[in-house]
Amino acid sequence: MDIARNPTSIPGNPELADAAVEPAAPETIRRLDYTPPAWLVPEIALDFDLGVELTKVRATLKVERNPDAAADQTLHLCGDNIAVMELLVDGKPAEGWSMSGSNLLLPLAGERHEVTVETHLHPATNSQLMGLYASNGMLCTQCEAEGFRRITFFPDRPDVLSRYTVRMSGPKAEFPILLSNGDCTASGEGENGTHWAEWTDPWPKPSYLFALVAGDLVARTDTFTTMNGRKVDLAVWVRPGDEDRTEHAMRSLINSMKWDEEAFGREYDLDTFNIVAVSDFNMGAMENKGLNIFNTRYILADPDTATDGDFDAVEGVVGHEYFHNWSGNRVTCRDWFQLSLKEGFTVLRDQMFSADMGSEPVKRIEDVRILRAAQFPEDSGPLAHPIRPDSYQEISNFYTATVYNKGAEVIRMMHTMAGPERFRAGSDLYFERHDGEAATCEDFVKAMEDGAGLDLSQFRLWYEQAGTPRVTVALKHDAAAGTVTLDVKQLVPPTPGQPVKKPMPIPLKIALFDRDTGSHDGERTLNITKAAESFTFGGFAKPPVLSANRGFSAPIQLESEATDADLQFLAAKDDDSFARYEALQQLFTRELLGAVEGGPDETRRAAIVEAMAAVIDDRAIDDMMRGELMMLPAINFLIELAAPADPVALHEARERLKAYLGTRLRDRLTALHDRASTIPYSLEADSRGARKVKTQALILLAAADVAETAKRAETQYRAADNMTDRQGALAVISGLDVPARGELLADFHARYAGNALVIDKWFAIQASALRSDVLDAVEALAGHEDFTMKNPNRVRALYMTMAGNPSAFHDAGGRGYRMIADLVLALDPINPQTAARFVPWLGRWRKIEPVRAELMRAELMRMAAVKSLSKDVREQVTKSLDTSA
Ligand code: TRP
Ligand code: ZN
């Protein structure tokens, strides 16, 4: 067992050591069991004596009884892997305290007391990256969701809000920069080359928003003046040498601050806003009050090292964390079941922000693609849960695409139903009503009802029921009456613990097109509320073409009886960009699923070629949209539709369709690539669009003519003055059997040696290659000197990419499954939170054909048999094997 996870290795803590011998059976926490805290902590003072090997923490808590809770004489303080070095109550040694597992129970007689506790931390051995840990010699914290209890004993639950004062001291040479939440209120020199700083955060906050950073950092600074004239000092802190790659992050921050004022009326509320980039980080970033901490991959960007997609991700995540200042920090969550209250809403806000900064229709297509690739499989599998879950064992496992992305879709539907002005009135009321509080999803829904004037009684089902509704639409034309009737049926599939479902309210945007004129008589939003219902529209002498779920107005799986001709019509004519994309995707999907069953359909393939040609020729759309329309559906989305799927057969069908398109459209694609290659690099939309279509053209051409395309891609690689072109070309070449392959991969590695984020790309490019020997490559890369299990970005670059590459993961003999299970077992003792994120890939066995499904299950059983599994991995493995659902 790893030292960082073994409480018995803590000196002087016999109670904790005894409790840790037999791991307790995982406890299930239930939403309906919520009770308010018996004690509140209005104030806390923290004093850190910093060191990478040993950090001493003294916490002084002002505690008082909660008048709104049942009387309890005992103060419950959470702890995790920490020991009590000293405990005082009102300045005197505490009496009668005890440990319950790793938590501290302290009986208190009075109404209010001052509790002081000292703990000793070992940041250098904290490989879980939760609590206080060391990364490249600097110290930083991650407290959400339950990391604060790894720093000190505290009621570590989001409904306990405290005012924080933080003092820290340490060697000045090692930690020249000392940061925490709020504003710096004092600082000075100490003895023996030490210095100290004091930070005060005037806003009461839950412990998960506490943060501290100490290290050798340099900043890009700027200022922002808020709408009411508050001048805010901004800083983006990075390791020396990285400062030239922070311009885009700073610009994104300033744009976010301005946007939140304009779009939501939200103003920043401190004199300081700090961002720190850290290379060892479990997730994307963290919204700690006034001190956001980021994974370097969502901060560092310049044209030479970051793709256009990376630039977008930086903008989106910087926005996301900034927007949490209101949706998350000023209004926080009562308990972790309410996580979507802050995450769903904040994802919607970052999506709206990115749409406003770039292209709204392209952003919508990208967001739906992510939802379908990540959330739909979750919602139809063994780990399905409502956006507001009812129970959990380990909360870290519920930072999911469902809570985040489906959560955003649910609030987006409110926006659709209310319209922008009324939605804004609803959000204004929500912020006003709950400012300074720990709120619930119900509070949000109620504020939307009151402020936006919506009746959301049935709509609350979106918070309660898991599963993606399947909606079938069928159009019937009555020539005599000149009417058309739309029959809509819905089915919400059973999910674990929810065998029977109620019909959902669904705002379904439709338009009815005239086949001859190519136009429609206006968009309608239908309010679907029943399992089956019909809508009749007059004024249709001829049968119209149905365009449904326009803009993806609801997170549903839509099935229609549209003919290929209808889809081809919509792919060419629909004035809703999403619907146009969707029509093409449906054509592709039909062809691919059909090809696996009975071979390609020549008529449909011809229609697809025609539709794709029209997309390439259409001068009315920009290249950003063109690139989007040219993408074939992902295998992981097709697996959902084909279940039980043969992923390799799907992959092969997809490759054949690419080859067919590449052959039939060769002249158009080369002309497109030639034209786009003349456009010089910039971050403007036309230049970004050119790079996008270039890579899409290469992908299709490569399937048709290996030698020619390899030359073209090599030329693009060598001529590239930016990462988008270079990575796009290399990704195409790495899938081909050409001599340039090894040469260019070596060139890329040499060129970027020492740049961790680009070396991650080098690993990922090889793990995503559509080649038969990719598992050999992954195995070899795991032994490469640049590989380490200690850095989550590196582990994900190699193994998450492989797991998402169907031709590798679903290798016929089960080798891909075995490699992922081996990884989980090896990573679990180091970093359980990151290890648990790989389990859902194996949990999808029910969607896969029986032979592979059995191999996947066998790996889950092998993991389940390991006694020392973390709570994180144990929960995911057990649920993935459960066949009761
Ligand atoms: N709240 C973070 C966000 O913005 C998520 C997060 C960051 C997180 N680090 C974490 C969640 C560690 C759990 C554990 O979405
Ligand atoms: Zn978030």
In the chain (885 residues long), the average pLDDT of successive 10-residue segments reads: 34 41 74 98 99 99 96 96 98 98 97 98 98 98 98 98 98 98 98 98 99 98 99 98 98 99 99 98 98 98 98 98 99 99 99 98 98 96 98 98 99 98 99 99 99 98 98 98 98 97 98 97 97 98 98 97 96 96 98 96 97 97 98 94 93 97 98 98 98 98 97 98 98 96 98 98 97 96 98 98 96 97 98 98 97 98 98 98 78
- In CATH, the architecture of 222-231+238-325 is 2-Layer Sandwich (3.30)
Q: Are 482 and 445 in contact (CB under 8 A)?
A: no
How many beta carbons lie within 10 A of that of residue 558, not counting itself?
18
Q: Are 847 and 643 in contact (CB under 8 A)?
A: yes
Ligand nearest to the CA of 209: 1
> What CATH code would you report for 1-216?
2.60.40.1730
Predicted confidence at residue 643, as pLDDT, reads: 79
Q: Are 801 and 781 in contact (CB under 8 A)?
A: no
Q: Measured on CA atoms in the order 725, 726, 729, 735, is the torsion positive or negative?
A: negative
- The residue among 347, 450, 460 whose CA lies nearest residue 406 is 347
| Burial label, 68 (beta-carbon count in 10 A; 0-12, 13-18, 19+) | exposed
Contacts of 377 (CB under 8 A, 6+ apart): 636, 639, 640, 840, 844, 847
Atom of ligand 1 nearest to the CA of 317: 4
Q: Measured on CA atoms in the order 14, 15, 16, 20, is the torsion positive or negative?
A: positive
Q: Is the CB of 285 under 6 A from ligand 1?
A: yes
How many beta carbons lie within 10 A of that of residue 749, not counting itself?
15
In the chain, CATH 1.10.390.10 sits at 335-464
- The DSSP secondary structure of 317-332, one letter per residue, reads HHHHHHHTTTBTTTBE
Query: Which three-class secondary structure state does DSSP give residue 100?
Result: strand
User: Going by DSSP bridges, is the β-strand pair 86-89/438-439 parallel, antiparallel, or unpaired?
Assistant: unpaired
In the chain, CATH 3.30.2010.30 sits at 222-231+238-325
Ligand nearest to the CA of 346: 2
Predicted confidence at residue 18, as pLDDT, reads: 42
Nearest residue (CA) to ligand 1, atom 5: 286
* Spacing, Cα 180 to ligand 1 middle (Å): 18
CA distance 164 to 120: 20
Q: Summarize the chain as % helix, strand, coil (round to 5).
A: 45, 20, 35
- The residue among 798, 870, 829 whose CA lies nearest residue 125 is 829
Q: Are 202 and 161 in contact (CB under 8 A)?
A: no
Predicted confidence at residue 353, as pLDDT, reads: 99
- The residue among 763, 754, 833 whose CA lies nearest residue 796 is 763
CATH class for the domain made up of 335-464: mainly alpha
- Ligand 1, residues 146, 282, 396: which to mutate, most atoms within 8 A of Cβ? 282
* Spacing, Cα 294 to ligand 2 middle (Å): 12
Q: Are 691 and 308 in contact (CB under 8 A)?
A: yes
Q: In the numeric block, which tokens belong to residue 588?
A: 């592709």
Q: Are 56 and 116 in contact (CB under 8 A)?
A: no
> What CATH code would you report for 470-561?
2.60.40.1840
* Spacing, Cα 710 to ligand 1 middle (Å): 41
Q: Is the CB of 199 under 6 A from ligand 1?
A: no
Q: Is the CB of 399 under 6 A from ligand 1?
A: yes
- The DSSP secondary structure of 669-689, one letter per residue, reads HHHHHHHHHTSPP-SSHHHHH
Active site residue 144: no
CA distance 335 to 339: 7
DSSP E strand stretches across 359-517: 391-392, 438-439, 470-478, 483-491, 506-513
CA distance 791 to 818: 21
Q: Are 858 and 655 in contact (CB under 8 A)?
A: no
CA distance 616 to 853: 40
Q: Is the CB of 146 under 6 A from ligand 1?
A: no
- The residue among 758, 760, 818 whose CA lies nearest residue 792 is 760
Q: Is the CB of 409 under 6 A from ligand 1?
A: no
Three-class HEC string of 208-219: HHCCEEEECCEE
Q: Is the CB of 283 under 6 A from ligand 1?
A: yes
Question: Exactly one of 321, 343, 378, 640 is catalytic; which is it?
Answer: 321
How many beta carbons lie within 10 A of that of residue 674, not counting itself?
12
Phi-psi region of 482 (alpha: psi -120 to 50; beta: other; left: phi over 0): left
Predicted confidence at residue 381, as pLDDT, reads: 96
In the chain, CATH 2.60.40.1730 sits at 1-216
